[in-house]
Amino acid sequence: MTADQLTSIIRAGLACEHLELEGDGRHWYATIVSAEFDGKRAIQRHQRVYATLGEKIRTDEVHALSMKTYTPAEWAALPR
Protein backbone atom coordinates (compact mmCIF):
# COMPACT_ATOMS: atom_id res chain seq x y z
CA MET A 1 0.00 0.00 0.00
CA THR A 2 1.40 3.37 -0.98
CA ALA A 3 0.57 6.74 0.54
CA ASP A 4 -1.17 7.74 -2.69
CA GLN A 5 -3.34 4.61 -2.64
CA LEU A 6 -4.31 5.09 0.99
CA THR A 7 -5.03 8.78 0.43
CA SER A 8 -7.28 7.91 -2.51
CA ILE A 9 -9.19 5.33 -0.47
CA ILE A 10 -9.80 7.73 2.40
CA ARG A 11 -10.79 10.61 0.09
CA ALA A 12 -13.17 8.33 -1.85
CA GLY A 13 -15.06 7.49 1.34
CA LEU A 14 -14.80 10.73 3.29
CA ALA A 15 -15.01 14.34 2.20
CA CYS A 16 -11.71 15.74 3.46
CA GLU A 17 -10.81 19.39 3.47
CA HIS A 18 -7.26 18.46 4.43
CA LEU A 19 -5.44 15.13 4.54
CA GLU A 20 -1.78 14.59 5.45
CA LEU A 21 -0.44 11.05 5.43
CA GLU A 22 2.94 9.53 6.13
CA GLY A 23 4.11 6.04 6.90
CA ASP A 24 6.06 3.00 5.84
CA GLY A 25 3.47 0.99 3.94
CA ARG A 26 1.96 -0.74 6.97
CA HIS A 27 2.09 1.84 9.78
CA TRP A 28 0.49 5.17 8.93
CA TYR A 29 0.05 8.56 10.58
CA ALA A 30 -2.75 10.80 9.31
CA THR A 31 -4.08 14.26 9.97
CA ILE A 32 -7.62 14.48 8.63
CA VAL A 33 -9.92 17.50 8.51
CA SER A 34 -13.55 16.90 7.58
CA ALA A 35 -16.88 18.62 8.15
CA GLU A 36 -18.28 15.11 8.69
CA PHE A 37 -16.57 15.15 12.10
CA ASP A 38 -18.78 17.98 13.39
CA GLY A 39 -20.54 16.88 16.57
CA LYS A 40 -18.66 13.57 16.78
CA ARG A 41 -16.36 12.36 19.54
CA ALA A 42 -12.84 11.19 18.69
CA ILE A 43 -13.80 7.50 18.68
CA GLN A 44 -16.68 8.18 16.27
CA ARG A 45 -14.36 10.14 13.99
CA HIS A 46 -11.84 7.30 13.94
CA GLN A 47 -14.56 4.74 13.29
CA ARG A 48 -15.70 6.86 10.35
CA VAL A 49 -12.19 6.84 8.86
CA TYR A 50 -11.76 3.10 9.50
CA ALA A 51 -15.06 2.51 7.69
CA THR A 52 -13.51 3.99 4.53
CA LEU A 53 -10.76 1.37 4.69
CA GLY A 54 -13.07 -1.65 5.02
CA GLU A 55 -11.27 -4.84 4.05
CA LYS A 56 -7.86 -3.15 3.96
CA ILE A 57 -7.93 -3.05 7.78
CA ARG A 58 -9.55 -6.45 8.26
CA THR A 59 -7.03 -8.18 5.97
CA ASP A 60 -4.10 -6.34 7.59
CA GLU A 61 -3.13 -4.61 4.32
CA VAL A 62 -3.18 -1.47 6.47
CA HIS A 63 -1.76 -2.72 9.73
CA ALA A 64 -1.99 0.49 11.78
CA LEU A 65 -3.37 3.96 11.27
CA SER A 66 -2.77 6.60 13.90
CA MET A 67 -4.99 9.65 13.41
CA LYS A 68 -5.50 13.22 14.43
CA THR A 69 -8.99 14.22 13.34
CA TYR A 70 -10.35 17.75 13.25
CA THR A 71 -13.40 19.65 12.13
CA PRO A 72 -12.65 22.60 9.84
CA ALA A 73 -13.22 25.02 12.75
CA GLU A 74 -10.86 23.08 15.03
CA TRP A 75 -8.24 22.98 12.29
CA ALA A 76 -8.53 26.72 11.64
CA ALA A 77 -8.09 27.44 15.36
CA LEU A 78 -4.83 25.49 15.67
CA PRO A 79 -1.69 27.60 16.02
CA ARG A 80 0.71 27.22 13.09
Residue 63: predicted pLDDT:
86
Q: Which of 33-37, 55-59, 71-75 has the lowest mean pLDDT?
A: 55-59
**How much is the pTM?**
0.92
* Residue 33 amino acid letter: V
**Residue 25: per-residue pLDDT:** 86
Average of per-residue pLDDT across 14-43: 96
Phi, psi of 9 (to 5 degrees): -65, -45
CATH code given to domain 3-77: 3.30.300.90
What is the C-alpha to C-alpha distance for residues 27 and 25, in angstroms, rounded to an integer? 6
51-69-39 Cα angle (round to 5): 85
